[in-house]
Structure 1
Amino acid sequence: MRTIAISGYKAHELGIFDQKHKGIYYIKKAIENRLRTLVEEGVEWVIISGQLGVELWAAEVVIALKAEYPQVQLAVLTPFLQQEERWQDATKQYYQEILNQADFVDSITKRAYDNPAQLRQKNEFIIAKADALLLLYDEDKPGSPTYYLDIAKKRQANEDFPIFFITPTDLDLLVQEEQHEHVDSEWDV
C-alpha cells in the first residue's frame, strides 16, 4: 500500500466553524497517529480533494510529518477548478497555504463547478487512484463521508482495498488519554 486517500466530514458537519475549535486538535492527533503507522508500513502518498474540514486538517498533518518522514507526499485533487471561489477570504488564504505546500495539485474535471456529478466523479477518481481509504466516520451520523465510503466498499467487494476508520470512540479515547497524561504531568512536579 503506497497511496491512501483521507477524507471525513466537512467542518460544519462537525459543528466546527473556526480554526480555533479544540476538537480540531484531537482530530489532527488521531489522523497523525494512524498516518504514522501507515507511513511506517510504506504509504508514500496521501490524496485529498481539498474539502474544508477533515481533509485540510489531514493535509496539515501530512505537511508536519514531512519533517520526520520526507518520503511522504501530499496530492490535492480538487473536483473542479476554483472550488474555493465562494469561500471567505481567510479560508481561501488557509486553503492556498495548503496548496502551496502540496507536492501535487490538479483538478479532476478541468472546469469550474457546473453540476453535482463532478463530486461523484471526484470520489470515484480518488478511490480508483488510492490503495486504501482512511475515513473519519460515525455510522450514526452518515453525512458527506458516506459517498466516499460507498464507492470504497464497492471496490473492496472486488479486490483488496483496506478501509480504515477514525470513529467517535477513537476520538473520545484520545481525549481521555490526553487528559490523563495532563493530570499525570501535574503530579510530576
Structure 2
Amino acid sequence: MITNLLISGYRSFELGVFKDDDPKVAVIKKCLKEEIRSYIEEGVQWFLTSGQFGVEQWAVEVINELKEEYPEIKQGLLFPFLEFGSNWNEQNQAKLMQLKKQVDFVEAVSHQPYKDPSQLKNHQAFMLGHTQGALLVYDLENEGKTKWLYQAILKKQEKGEYECRLIDFDQLQNTVLEEE
C-alpha cells in the first residue's frame, strides 16, 4: 500500500507557462486534483515534492485545497540542497516562501548550499527511498527534466514494487475537451 507519494513533472517553462493565470495551469491542476483525490481514497497520507516551479508547486496548491475535504493528509517540501531557490528572482522567492508556510514539513536533503550534481542525484534517491509511488505530469514523447526521475523510477521498479502513474498530454487534452 502506498502511504507516501512523490509528485513531480514538467517545470513551468517546459510547458510555456509564465503566468499563474495561464489556462494550461487550470487544466493541469484539475488532472492533479482527480489523481490526488484517488490516491487519498486509496490511503496515501503524505505527498512529497521538491518545490520546483511548475507541476510541483501547483501540486502543493491543489493539496492545500483538498485538505479542506481531507484534513488528515500531509505534505512535505524536501529541497535538494540548503538555500534552494535563493538565486530566483524576488517574486519567485516570495512564492516559494508562501508555499513553505502551507506545508506540514520543510527540509533540505543536503544541508549544504548547491555544490555539484551529486546533491541532485542524492535527493532523487532519497525521494524514491521514502515513497512507494510517484505521480508525474509527464509525456514520454515530450522529454523534459522529469526524464531523469522517470528513468530512476524504471530502475527502481526493476528491483521491486514502486507504482508510477503518468498524466500525459492525451489526458490533459481529454480534460480540455471535457470542459468544452
What range describes the TM-score normalised by the shorter chain of this pair?
A: over 0.9
The C-alpha deviation readout for 1:157-186, integer Å capped at 9, x for no partner, is: 11111100000000000011011xxxxxxx
Name the CA distance, whole Å, in 1 between partners of 2:148 and 2:77. 18
1:89-108 equivalent positions in 2, closer than 5 A: 89-108=90-109
Match of 1:46 in 2: 47
By percentage of residues, which structure has more strand? 2
The Cα of 1:19 is off from its aligned counterpart by: 1.4
Match of 1:182 in 2: none
SS state at 1:78 partner:
strand
Structure with higher Rg: it is 1
TM-score (norm 1): 0.92
1:33-182 equivalent positions in 2, closer than 5 A: 33-179=34-180
The C-alpha deviation readout for 1:32-64, integer Å capped at 9, x for no partner, is: 000001100100000001111100000101111
The Cα of 1:66 is off from its aligned counterpart by: 0.4
SS state at 1:123 partner:
helix
The C-alpha deviation readout for 1:97-141, integer Å capped at 9, x for no partner, is: 111111010000111111112111111110111010100111111
The C-alpha deviation readout for 1:70-94, integer Å capped at 9, x for no partner, is: 1111110000111111111111111
Asked if structure 2 preserves the Cα contact closer than 8 Å seen for 1:7 and 1:48, the reply is yes
SS state at 1:91 partner:
helix
SS state at 1:79 partner:
strand
The Cα of 1:20 is off from its aligned counterpart by: 1.7
- Structure 2: any 5+ residue segments left out of the alignment? none
Name the aligned partner's letter for residue 89 of structure 1: E
Asked if structure 2 preserves the Cα contact closer than 8 Å seen for 1:127 and 1:148, the reply is no
How much is the aligned-residue C-alpha RMSD, in angstroms? 0.8
Moved over 2 A (4+): none
TM-score (norm 2): 0.97
Asked if structure 2 preserves the Cα contact closer than 8 Å seen for 1:77 and 1:105, the reply is yes
Match of 1:183 in 2: none
Tell me how many residue pairs correspond in the alignment. Answer: 179
